[in-house]
Amino acid sequence: MIKLLLLALLFFLGYSFFQALFPRRRDQKPPANRSQNGEQMVQDPQCGTYLPISDALSANIQGRQYYFCSRKCRKQFKKQT
């Protein structure tokens, strides 16, 4: 069992070394919170829906800016806080 662990460790070290030598560019993709036309996407904290910022209802609650998909969500969220 220890041998297996050592092998795994060696594999991990080798893998890290390999990655250090050949850094991948995979992490440099554009942020996921932007839609295709470049418009900023916001999340409704009440129901979790993502929507373009131009379609969102904004509200300033306790000094923070929030965006909602509907007045219903905004009302419910205000009730909770």
In the numeric block, the tokens 């829906």 are attached to 49
Interface residue with Zn ion, options 42, 56, 66, 69 (CB under 5 A) = 69
The nearer residue to Zn ion, 34 or 71, going by C-beta atoms, is: 71
**Is there binding between residue 47 and Zn ion (CB under 5 A)?**
yes
Residues 6 or more apart in contact with residue 69 via CB below 8 angstroms: 44, 46, 47, 49, 51, 55, 56, 57
To the nearest whole angstrom, how small is the minimum distance from the Cβ of residue 81 to Zn ion? 15
End-to-end CA distance of the chain: give it in Å, rounded: 53
The nearer residue to Zn ion, 38 or 57, going by C-beta atoms, is: 57
To the nearest whole angstrom, how small is the minimum distance from the Cβ of residue 80 to Zn ion? 13
The two structure tokens encoding residue 4: 């297996």
The nearer residue to Zn ion, 9 or 73, going by C-beta atoms, is: 73
Binding region for Zn ion (CB under 5 A)? 44, 46-47, 49, 69, 73
